[in-house]
Structure 1
Amino acid sequence: MIHAEGPLLSVDVDSQETTEAEVDDVLASYVGGRGVGTKLAHDRIPFDADPFGPDNSLVFAVGPLQTSMMSYTGRISCTGLSPLTDGLLSSNAGGFISRPFYDTGYAAVEVTGESDELVGLVVTDEGVSFEPVPELESATVSETNEYIESEHGLDESHTAVVGPAGENGVRFAAIITSGSRAFGRGGLGAALGAKNVKYLAFDGDSRPDVEGLDDELVREIHTEASESGSPMKDAGTVSVSDYANAVGALPTRYFEELSYDELDEIGSAAVIEHKYKKGTCSSCAFACKLPTRDEESGIETEGPEYETMMSFGSNAAVDDFVAIMKSNELCDEYGLDTISCGDAVAAYLAAEDEFGNAELVHELIEKIAHREGVGDT
């Protein structure tokens, strides 16, 4: 089986020591970053470990296609114990970080232990730098990326960042990469935040060679991706919203209903109206991402995708697309999973009879990220 090459790098942020281990048997037996990360995490994390404790590990891993130019391959997995479920969880992110990660020469990178101070980790093919960053306490994702670029010359395509939500232990905190892409599900941002790690940055020039790739097939898939007429190229995953609404599968008013009368205000048409350029992931010609901008308010974000449109839109009965864009951007800045956060907010709106109150939605996102008032219940 074609598989990734390279050792496992284990980074202990408590002792600030690193070790390498050969994991060829795992790479040859388990498919892709998710399979490799799940196997390594299963074998290396104690069964009774606390997701917030030093024995939990987060394993970042990629598959073998990072050496190719094939579309759809700009993905990376992060696996560990979930603070939200207490179970083993693998969360997957797109964007551009997968290639810089593999440029380090490692097939997988494990972060374990717990630092006494807030640190950033810079992982390269020459080693790991442990950097105290107390000045970044409570910094947003964009503020952290600006710091990394100014200090190391590495832009957001090289970074995985914990926002205030992860530092504050919100159980559905995300790890944000490429500025707006997320290891979203399961709260791994809180697990990394509990280790007092603010960010990881990856760089190098040691991408391993992987043998056995069919170059002609790679070109065919890339060409097909480029020429595809999929509606996702216009509206991303929101393109399924009309169908979901028609068949009664669009959660609405905190799951009380399954279709939303105001979908036209927040669905595909609204996305297309606000999308101002193409967006994609590393080496992908499909280009289904959604850079959006509202000229009047100045709000600019990426998305929302279907799940965000649902959780902060129909499920909260918010029919203002720009308000949903702002919810999306706040979650990206604070490091929150938009699905869990939006549905938690929708539950509160249902309890308080406040459906449709977009201003309250934004206030609640802030409170959740900082665990203030009702945001800490």
Structure 2
Amino acid sequence: MSMKLRAAIIGATGYGGVELIRLLLTHPHVEITSVISSSNAGAPLADGYPHLNQIVLDKLDAIDVELIKQKSDVVFLAAPHGVASGLAPQLIDVGLKVIDVSGDFRLQSGETYERWYKHKPADPAYLAKAIYGLAEVFGEEVKGSTFISNPGCYPTATLLGLVPIVKQGWADTSSIIVDAKSGVSGAGRGLGLTAHFSEMNENFLAYKVNKHQHTPEIEQVLGRVAGEEVVITFTTHLVPMTRGILSTIYVNLKQKHTEDEIIDLYRQYYEGRRFVRIREKGKWPATKEVWGSNYCDIGLSLDERTGRLTIISVIDNIVKGAGGQAVQNLNLMMGWDEATGLAFTPVYP
């Protein structure tokens, strides 16, 4: 029996880190050897997450690069934005594989990152090394790489919905409008009014209108796929549910195409990719139908009156939008089947 890959998780007390723990615990080729938290080092992980009592390592480690090197082969960085930019280069330089789940290495331009994220950008040399891990689109680049920048949750849902039609050249890229909605877990575990029950219960609100930091990430990838600059309108909303993202996307078509042609295009593009499911004509997905899973479900509707395509794309923001896609990228990186450790059905109801 071959030895398992040793994995460390930095930021293990956040939702993304805890989801990585859940997924990696059942991965046949991985062993979690270190769970790390700068703010809770030395404390039992079960103090904050009692459901993990007697399941994972007893104590949280501090951030110590040499210790991480001794105990690990791959490091998942699930720390807040602004932390990974300084830490990932140190881990890479000592020979570790790194999958960054924060936003620090997603944007190729440090100036753009600083403008949208309000943090000092990472070293340009390491920005250039990072492979953008949207598995269904750039999976071939992920294979054999050692440094992955995991996509954001909103970009994952939105890009998987848009890439086929944009890449085919059927979309008028100047017309793209994205109306995206997320469950409250997308804001993380930190305290704030947006996560306060009495503020969010029976409420529905838009936030960061025309200012959301995932905007340039979506535009960067669409521009790469289209071969030209793409600018979109992107509006995010908070919904009083725990998990899930529903991205409703509107795009005008350059020429006439039938709905059947468009559905066929999407099915051909994602053929063989386990985690993207294209709905039958006249059927659209709901967040509950991907809850707790690594699936992205997509429904398509063409309005023949306007020549406008409506795309409905749903994911679980903590799985496909974070931990699940990170594990999928690990599988590709290591040459394993990309569904390894992820081949479970959504939780329903």
Answer whether TM exceeds 0.5 for this pair: no
- Higher share of residues assigned helix: 1
TM-score, length of structure 2 as denominator length: 0.26
TM-score, length of structure 1 as denominator length: 0.25
